[in-house]
Amino acid sequence: MKYFFNLDEAEDIAIGPDYSSAHGGWVKGERIQVLLYHKEKGTGSRPHRHPNEQFIYILKGKVKAEVEGQNKIASPGEVIHIPPDALHNMVATTDEDLVYLVAKDTSFGIHGIPEDGQKTGAHYEPGFEPEAQNN
């Protein structure tokens, strides 16, 4: 159907694998894209930015969020605003996985640009690195 979508059934893709552990499904309209992100506990993004504006609505879990130097642990029901080009990062707390809904304008893609310019992957809290790195 043209106007109805189920993000739980959308293809699960890596969203910003150069700097983030986020993955999920998404749909794109003419001016807005909506994404259902997942981050496993203790994982998240390194500082990055993108030229498109973004709103994040927390559905499950908690996230340690930093936007332009302001820090907060956000919980279900809270909204985080990311202005265009704002430096930010989001890391799921270590107690449970994180699920959040994102609305982002289509002036740029779904990926951001790592602030350090390195494509070294996601942020991992100590003890939450992928198995290959724990050995």
Q: What is the mean pLDDT of the chain?
A: 95
Q: Could you tell me the sign of the dihedral formed by the alpha carbons of 31, 85, 37, 131, in that order?
A: positive
101 exposure class (CB count in 10 Å sphere: 0-12, 13-18, 19+): middle
pTM of the entire predicted model: 0.93
Which residue, chain included where needed, has tokens 């001016």?
31
The DSSP 8-state label assigned to residue 125 in this structure reads: -
Residue of 59, 77, 79 lying closest to 67 (CA atoms): 79
CATH 3.30.420.10, applies to 30-108? no
Distance CA 68, CA 130 (A): 28
Q: Where are the domains of the chain?
A: 30-108
- Condensed to tens digits (0 to 9), the pLDDT of residues 38-67 reads 999 999 999 999 999 999 999 999 999 999
- Condensed to tens digits (0 to 9), the pLDDT of residues 95-113 reads 999 999 999 999 999 999 9
